[in-house]
Amino acid sequence: MPKMMKAAVFVEANRIVLQDKPVPDVGPLDALVRLTTTTICGTDVHILKGEYPVARGLTVGHEPVGIIEKLGSAVEGYKEGQRVIAGAITPSGHSAACLCGYHSQDGAGTRHGFRAMGGWRFGNTIDGAQAEYLLVPDAMTNLALIPDGLSDEQVLMCPDIMSTGFSGAESGGVKLGDTVAIFAQGPIGLCATAGARLLGATTIIGVEAIPARMEISRRMGADHVIDFSRKDAVDEIMALTDGRGVDVAIEALGRQSTFEAALRVLRPGGTLSSLGVYSEDLTIPLGAFAAGLGDHRIVTTLCPGGKERMRRLMSIIASGRLDTQPLVTHRFKLEEIEAAYDLFANQRDGVLKVAITP
Amino acid sequence: MPKMMKAAVFVEANRIVLQDKPVPDVGPLDALVRLTTTTICGTDVHILKGEYPVARGLTVGHEPVGIIEKLGSAVEGYKEGQRVIAGAITPSGHSAACLCGYHSQDGAGTRHGFRAMGGWRFGNTIDGAQAEYLLVPDAMTNLALIPDGLSDEQVLMCPDIMSTGFSGAESGGVKLGDTVAIFAQGPIGLCATAGARLLGATTIIGVEAIPARMEISRRMGADHVIDFSRKDAVDEIMALTDGRGVDVAIEALGRQSTFEAALRVLRPGGTLSSLGVYSEDLTIPLGAFAAGLGDHRIVTTLCPGGKERMRRLMSIIASGRLDTQPLVTHRFKLEEIEAAYDLFANQRDGVLKVAITP
Amino acid sequence: MPKMMKAAVFVEANRIVLQDKPVPDVGPLDALVRLTTTTICGTDVHILKGEYPVARGLTVGHEPVGIIEKLGSAVEGYKEGQRVIAGAITPSGHSAACLCGYHSQDGAGTRHGFRAMGGWRFGNTIDGAQAEYLLVPDAMTNLALIPDGLSDEQVLMCPDIMSTGFSGAESGGVKLGDTVAIFAQGPIGLCATAGARLLGATTIIGVEAIPARMEISRRMGADHVIDFSRKDAVDEIMALTDGRGVDVAIEALGRQSTFEAALRVLRPGGTLSSLGVYSEDLTIPLGAFAAGLGDHRIVTTLCPGGKERMRRLMSIIASGRLDTQPLVTHRFKLEEIEAAYDLFANQRDGVLKVAITP
Amino acid sequence: MPKMMKAAVFVEANRIVLQDKPVPDVGPLDALVRLTTTTICGTDVHILKGEYPVARGLTVGHEPVGIIEKLGSAVEGYKEGQRVIAGAITPSGHSAACLCGYHSQDGAGTRHGFRAMGGWRFGNTIDGAQAEYLLVPDAMTNLALIPDGLSDEQVLMCPDIMSTGFSGAESGGVKLGDTVAIFAQGPIGLCATAGARLLGATTIIGVEAIPARMEISRRMGADHVIDFSRKDAVDEIMALTDGRGVDVAIEALGRQSTFEAALRVLRPGGTLSSLGVYSEDLTIPLGAFAAGLGDHRIVTTLCPGGKERMRRLMSIIASGRLDTQPLVTHRFKLEEIEAAYDLFANQRDGVLKVAITP
């Protein structure tokens, strides 16, 4: 009889429930990780609400911190008992997409090797991290050792929030001395702000209306924070930049209003770096787009994964350049995960991120 | 009394008329060029129709080939009598935009140095090239000597058509072995096709419905030409690429339908390189955009200008790698320019480009 | 008793001998390929002469064309009987180096994931391709299907010669309209010449002294070929470029003289792209290096591998853009490989490359 | 009779002397700047010693801070009385080199537009900044307004030291989470250290032996500082990186020993970014270079100039991200400049940089 574990399972729209499931078998390229900490993502809330479809019975979650319990027969270079994380995105390493550098669009198993969002497997196409145990596929590509001295909570943002947020600044091509605006200062936007700061931007403008988020925005690196509920963000940014606009605008919400505002504040030749997950068609306003003649770029990025990305992010934490622990505002046991969803989905009590411990 | 010349002048919507104007005075940084050949651009037709606003009385046209008649007092490195071209875009060289590499968004004269499309001056903000003489501003940045042995018509596409078309492939980041689709095979799209070929794409797909353009598309480098009036271009391209989609899609028309089709055929991680001049807001379809998670890029480019760009383009012609003369389908005297506009604006008689000789 | 096969084995300096060896066992991630064609590389000659150390008893060769005989238990996406090639470099796909895009410096199995030249395994650290059967490691990363209609000899240059030669032009950043000089027109230099041509260089200068190679250089894309035995190559190139120098200089021999000449002909801000395998310390002449102030770049590249690289190279062949078959000047049976080494190592009879068929 | 001024003039080897010279005439594209602060560079010491040749009678110095006294007739966008700096490198903006983005290799006036180090004019090919007045050529390309609230000394490092030092990190392609070693912690090396920090490197290793410089190295951003007089720097760096080596090594001295050490500590695929001014041929050791097969890059950079570069650097100072004033250790009147040279050339009294005020 298989060993059993607790797992947060998608049952139907508006029902993610803690259930008993068998601890998974370990294939030759896999690793079984005993989870010590995980968290809930905004995407999980979309799943909860039935807005993003996943199979019934799937374990949810894609942000794992844990300990190697068992290694597949073909896995080399690791030992059981090591503390590890894996990215939210777990590329195979061998698809055409991976070999071209598009690990998040991994199409392993397709004829041609590309699949949109194909690198996102945990809690999407395979069982995820809100459980006692997690099966990590392609373990040699994905398991990253946690440096000595870092706690679970210190690295909990690495698998998704920090990787995604930073990629907004990186894909935007932020350069020394740039002016950068970040639209929305939720966990992802806050990490985009921190990323712009780490890359040497010198005028960083956060756009947000929730006071607690406005405050932490400054701590994460914003030089200015605009309360869009009181002032027009586009006007304010154009005034702050003396009419020039920003070099890079980062969209971190996934709405038409923020996408459009990001385009409106771009200088000619600027880059709109989009992180948001949109839920409807987007409109590009003709004027803000200079009718297609403004040398603008719009770039989108799905959370970069893989063990080397995780190593780099943890090295940033270890070096003391950034502390993401202030983003963890609430803590729950895995047994209480339904309450955690309730708090997080309804954005109660100033929640930014929750830590879940099995 | 000033010397007089003939010039094609925008009088009002639907009236571009040949008029007498004084030959311009030459400032210290300028050069006066006696035009020997010029042409009409699709943009000039927008001006003619009143769809793109310019000042009444402005001389139209931005594609000059000619001979240096007189040099400004501060201009060094040229001699009167030399055969030259200048790009459609004539950057100053000294604005912040130029120093950042965005010469087409030159904001010389602004506080901060950026202005959308600011590098486009001929026939837009200053008198243009459909005349007997043309005053070239910032001559040291913009005058490019025509290599010996090249005729006017051989270099006539360099100032705009070839520079713009090629930039579609360059900004798209076409790599050796790429698959590229180009939507519309007018003069710009044909040069984008040629550019993709020169950059080493190995599967080049043109989309067009006019038989003569389909034929020349193959001559310019297309491996496949899809007649979108008979078959669905998106379906055909997905079939040709075995479901993978293209690495780079180039939009060369300026319409929602082609913009959208270009996005639909992109592989995850692909680039939509947009050359079209749009006349209304654009819509990004959610699915084709993978909800913002497909690592897509949308890049726009305004015709690169400046003398070094022109030198490079003419070196391509001189090397025999590409012959753009087949694009010149009709020839007119400057005196007949109104007839030339009539033919070109109405796309009669299989016209691609006209050569106008003062 | 294991099935036996013939293999060309390094016995000691100056002795590579055809021997009987067991057909290898197939591990879970491996594929066994029955070779149909292979070839000898200049590097194999270094091994033969004892200049590059490999283990005694190792099978030599790293350029395989063949048919899948057997797939490892964890290998998906292939079928036995498919015609395939693998690159000379067979990266794991999962090391830190691979995840950073440095597949050739793959350090799978090291603590940190980088090892200089670590991606080169065939005929270096594991048994190679001059045999009847070849075990391909990390098969899902490395096996590339041969497109229908291409013969073995048509794709025989892809695993190494074409991949390496092209990378000289790619790493050099060749742009449309560039001037490029390639020093030495052996098989690698010829492919670098073809690569520069495919990338849109418009003045391509080959440097070579063997008449037959000078002639094929023009066929592969050179506009000028300088016989360095009659004229000083540096002087000639500076004269051809009107004193400007070249945008990119490619070194394809591995000698101080060519490395130095490549640096001397670079324009300020130019790139020296080095492909040669050197056998002694190199000297950078102070003047040619502008004392370190010329914005020069020196880049080195080891043959890019992996199945996606191979797919792209074969697509270039399939598209008809380039035919590398003229490089195959001689043909031998595997039984005759010792004679093939004798011919090739001594560069007799105008040999460029030999095809070896088991 | 022309107005006269004091200027530090190169008379002969080992003699830079304060002399009377006429205040220069202002050409149409020039600006005359009344200097308020300047400094002495290591390059000036090479000039003093006769190691770098300049014309006798030339005014030395290339790091100006001052006030616009008079503008040329064709200069627009500035007013007399504005506080400005200009870069050590003053590109024309219009040469082919500038239009390609190689402003430091500006060949304005040459046939083809490239000249090694051609952008360096002050105190090299035209009169420099150690004087009461300075004629700035191509003023619209080069004059950068000092932001309100910044003192002369706060921006004094921008024209050369900070621009050069930062470019070492930028040209090296430093990425988030990189490990970077900087060889020598003089003023340039210290700014390279600060640049690597601003770009997000997380392990920054300075190499230096002078205690005061080791201390300031930490303040500028180094995580580790190795005293190479006590320990072997290569061994230490390999130990600190667990055998992996560094992603980027910056050479900031101009000696064979540091160049070689920088190469020895590079990981495969790493970049050696060279800032030093060398005085003899360099040797590339075969092993450190992986015989040319390590995917290494060696890049050199001459101080980036132009007003936009200066604006960005001053924005970094204004934002509080970096304070370079600690580099100014001594202050002199222009009248005392010979004493300043004596102190600086002999590196007495812990001098890093001197401020000279006319």
Residue A2 has pLDDT above 90, yes or no: no
The one-letter amino acid at B275: L
Tens-place pLDDT, residues D32-47: 999 999 999 999 999 9
In this prediction, residue C2 carries a pLDDT of: 81
Listed by number, the residues of chain B in 70-99 with a beta carbon closer than 8 Å to a beta carbon of chain D are 73-74, 76-77, 92-94, 96, 98-99
A311/C contact by beta carbon, under 8 A: yes
Length of chain D: 358
At residue B214, does pLDDT exceed 90? yes
CA distance C61 to A190: 53
Low-confidence stretches of chain D (pLDDT < 50) are: none
Q: How far is CA D288 from the centre of its chain?
A: 28
Closest Cα of chain C to D318: distance in Å? 29
Count other C-beta atoms under 10 Å from residue C183's C-beta: 31
Does the beta carbon of D293 lie under 8 angstroms from any beta carbon of chain C? Answer: yes
Give residue C171's pLDDT. Answer: 98
Are the C-beta atoms of residues A221 and A194 closer than 8 Å to each other?
Answer: yes
Question: Helix or strand or coil: residue D271?
Answer: strand
Q: What is the pLDDT of residues A159-204, one digit of tens each?
A: 999 999 999 999 999 999 999 999 999 999 999 999 999 999 999 9
Mutation pick from D62, D258, D275, D300 vs chain C, by most beta carbons of C within 10 Å, is D300
Closest alpha carbon to A257 in A236, A243, A276, A237: A276
- For residue A256, give the 3-state DSSP assignment: helix
Longest CA–CA separation in chain A, Å: 70
Residue entry with tokens 């090694």: D116
Confidence check: pLDDT of B23 > 90? yes
> What are the residue ranges of CATH 3.40.50.720 in chain C?
164-300
Q: How far apart are CA A334 and CA A133, in angstroms?
A: 12
Which CATH superfamily does the domain covering A166-300 fall into? NAD(P)-binding Rossmann-like Domain (3.40.50.720)
Low-confidence ranges of chain C (pLDDT < 50): none
Asked if A223 has any chain D CB less than 8 Å from its own CB, the reply is yes
> Residue B2: which pLDDT band, with cuts at 50, 70 and 90?
confident
pLDDT surpasses 80 at B1: no
Residue D2 is predicted with a pLDDT of 81
Lookup: tokens for C225:
């070929």
CA distances from B13 to A348, B2, D120 (A): 59, 29, 51
Residue C177 and residue C246 in contact, taking contact as beta carbons nearer than 8 Å: no
Which of B103, B115, B164, B295 should be substituted to probe chain A, the one whose Cβ sees the most A Cβ atoms within 10 Å?
Answer: B295
- All CATH 3.40.50.720 domain ranges in chain D, comma separated: 162-300
Note whether C99 contacts A108, CB cutoff 8 Å.
no
Determine, for residues B315 and C166 on separate chains, whether the beta-carbon distance falls below 8 Å: no
Strand (E) positions, chain C? 4-12, 15-22, 31-37, 65-71, 83-85, 133-136, 144-145, 179-183, 203-208, 224-227, 246-251, 266-274, 282-284, 297-300, 328-333, 353-357
First to last CA, chain D: 22
Computed over every residue of chain B, the mean pLDDT equals 97
Partner chains of C (3+ C-beta pairs under 8 Å) = A, B, D
Chain-chain contact of A223 with D198 (C-beta, under 8 angstroms): no
CATH 3.90.180.10 for domain A4-86+122-156+324-357: yes
Tell me whether A147 touches chain C (CB under 8 Å).
no
Smallest CA-to-CA distance from B302 within A69, A272, C267, A291 is with A291
Answer yes or no: do B94 and D140 touch at CB < 8 A.
yes
The CATH architecture one would assign to domain C164-300 is 3-Layer(aba) Sandwich (3.40)
Where do the CATH 3.90.180.10 domains begin and end in chain C? 4-86+122-156+324-357
Comparing CB atoms, the residue among A107, A283, A297 nearest residue B297 is A297
B307 pLDDT band (50/70/90 cuts)? very high
Beta-bridge mates of residue D357: D333
Give the containing element (helix H, strand E) for C236. helix C233-240
CA angle C106, C162, C54 (to 5 degrees): 50
Q: How far apart are CA D114 and CA B120, in angstroms?
A: 26
- Say which residue the tokens 């160049």 belong to: D259
Amino acid present at A113: G
Which residues are bridge partners to C16 per DSSP?
Answer: C10
Give the tokens for residue A195: 């990323």
Given a cut of 80, whether residue A272 has pLDDT beyond it is: yes
**Residue D218 pLDDT:** 98
Lookup: tokens for C69:
């005989």
Q: How confident is the model at residue A113 (pLDDT cuts 50, 70, 90)?
A: very high
Coil vs helix vs strand at B97 = helix
The alpha carbon of residue B188 and the mean position of all alpha carbons in its chain are separated, in whole angstroms, by: 6
State whether residue C269 sits within 8 Å of chain A by CB: no
Per-residue pLDDT, A104: 97
Output the pLDDT for position C79: 98
pLDDT exceeds 80 at position A1 = no
Residue limits of CATH 3.40.50.720 in chain A: 166-300
B141 Cβ contact list (under 8 Å, min separation 6): B90, B91, B92, B93, B306, B307, D93, D94, D99
* pTM of the predicted model as reported, rounded to 2 decimal places: 0.98
- Cβ pairs bridging A and D (under 8 Å): 53
- Do C29 and C138 form a contact (C-beta atoms < 8 A)? yes
Extended strands (E) in B39-128: 65-71, 83-85
- Examine the predicted complex and report whether its ipTM is higher than 0.85: yes
Query: What is residue A46's predicted lDDT score, i.e. its pLDDT?
Result: 95
Residues 6+ apart with CB under 8 A from C160: C41, C62, C63, C87, C88, C303
pLDDT per residue as tens digits for the range B253-273: 999 999 999 999 999 999 999
For residue D8, give how far its alpha carbon lies from the nearest alpha carbon of chain A (Å): 34
> Domain B162-300: which topology?
Rossmann fold (3.40.50)
* Minimal-distance CA residue of chain D relative to A318: D202
